[in-house]
Structure 1
């Protein structure tokens, strides 16, 4: 869920009114925002679109021992803002971030409304990895992830998939194809097919909660 370095066609330029309400309308219409280095926000509607099939997901063999050891404690929605700010921090392979302060504030507002969630990995009580995304009905839109400790984000993603599978989600949108999401099983579909999947997903209500063990 790290954004692609390519420059896909953008849908429209920001009108300087990025709000939670604008995000709700955008996501339910198949559109999402990204910020440029100068803070300018563009709304994207790519074709093709990358999605990760939920029902067929299985963790990589190399990750199973890490999961089985229970090395990380997993929580949801306890430090949403800390997660999105960690995702916005510069990385060794990405000098720029598409997550601006304006985006952070809008998504934090969306989180307070119950439409954005974080899955968090803890080690020794410290937040060391995680991801965040947007949730409407039975659709989850993966935004970004981070890690401070090896495998922390991979385990968070595994638990995201468990959440989506156990609660009957029907769509996991990862927006653009890149090496990171392809590693998790992402495939590209035509925008017209994506929009049909999105429309169907918005007809079914789902809760975002950890499965009961």
Structure 2
């Protein structure tokens, strides 16, 4: 595992460096320049607030191909009944704030520190991060956010306050962006996203798609 220099924005090459369980570096900072550079390399930060910043590029990688999304009959009925309405980039701050405050099964706290949250807010202000909001009766009941790198969407975190809200928002987002998004990076496995069609692929395959996408930009 490589220790990063705060004064230099660089990372070990994730194609040739396989850290323990995908952990390839630690340290550095959370400047928007470093975060943006990391995601273009297929690296993301994930750590406990108050501890050293950890940088990951796991193998295999958990992704979803938009054309392969699975929608159950019950979810299709919910979408057809218009139980929820959706918007994009209408309230990024509230979405990321809710993601930070949501309790996760098996976690005693949040991985989303105030510093990291503020960096993503700045990335959103630069047009690099997107939020998807899910509404019910005028109330924000779900949503998620992530970084957009060309035709690859790197999902970060989601939240839900009512049953099926985040799932409906994710399906709506995928089906509305099939022409613009080649791949959705889900980073690490969850049963929630697996039920929607996400799957594991080798890291080399993921990085190849990401690099080809960067070259086309």
* Higher gyration radius (CA): 2
Note whether the superposition's TM-score is higher than 0.5.
Answer: yes
Shift of 1:187: 1.0
Moved more, 37-46 or 79-88: 37-46
- 2:100 corresponds to which residue? 88
- Is 1:43 matched with 2:55? yes
- Give the alignment partner of residue 175 of structure 1, picking from 181, 187, 206: 187
Asked whether the equivalents of residues 137 and 203 of structure 1 are also in contact (C-alpha less than 8 Å), the reply is no
TM-score, normalised with respect to structure 2? 0.85
- Give the alignment partner of residue 111 of structure 1, picking from 113, 124, 129: 124
TM-score, normalised with respect to structure 1? 0.87
Q: Unmatched 5+ residue regions in structure 1?
A: 1-6, 206-213
Shift of 1:95: 2.2
- Give the alignment partner of residue 137 of structure 2, picking from 105, 124, 129: 124
Equivalent-residue separation in structure 1 for 2:186 and 2:201 (angstroms): 11
Q: Unmatched 5+ residue regions in structure 2?
A: 1-19
SS at match of 2:177: helix
Matches within 5 A, 1:192-203: 192-203=204-215
- 2:115 corresponds to which residue? 102
How many pairs does the alignment contain?
A: 197
Q: Deviations over 1:74-108 (max 9, x none)?
A: 01001101111111114162322111111100100
- Give the alignment partner of residue 134 of structure 1, picking from 126, 134, 147: 147
Asked whether the equivalents of residues 30 and 195 of structure 1 are also in contact (C-alpha less than 8 Å), the reply is yes
Asked whether the equivalents of residues 171 and 201 of structure 1 are also in contact (C-alpha less than 8 Å), the reply is no
